[in-house]
Structure 1
Amino acid sequence: MADIIRRRIADGTYPPRTRVPSVLQLQAEFGIAAATGQKVHRALRDEGLIYTEPGLGSFVARTDD
């Protein structure tokens, strides 16, 4: 799932500063467990591709900074 989200970020499906699917949305789209969705978010955050705003969601990080 992380690879799919990475591709969507790279191809502009999720442009910078737009929200990426929540863990619940990942569960619904891919039929995965919540823990797997959390791992996807954690991996993308660790790579600097997304950031999380508590109470608001996770967003694509800017790549032009």
Structure 2
Amino acid sequence: MCNVGGIDRILRVIVGLAVLSLVFIGPQTPWGWLGLIPLVTGAFSFCPLYPLLGIKTCATKD
């Protein structure tokens, strides 16, 4: 089941990696682990919040 589309998926992975990098470089804060959320949702093309909000950025198949 896909509900995260192309650009949305790429942005999630980029933002996830950027936030996750805060664990290893920069201020080295544990809050950087929150970057795993957009990273995983981008990797699996599924966001559990989207169905609750009625959002789908993935292209539909005819």
TM-score scaled by structure 2?
Answer: 0.28
Relative contact order: is structure 1 or structure 2 higher (C-alpha 8 Å, sep ≥ 6)?
2
Answer with 1 or 2: which has the greater Rg. Answer: 2
Q: Looking at secondary structure, tell me which structure has more helix per residue.
A: 2
Q: Looking at secondary structure, tell me which structure has more strand per residue.
A: 1
TM-score scaled by structure 1?
Answer: 0.27
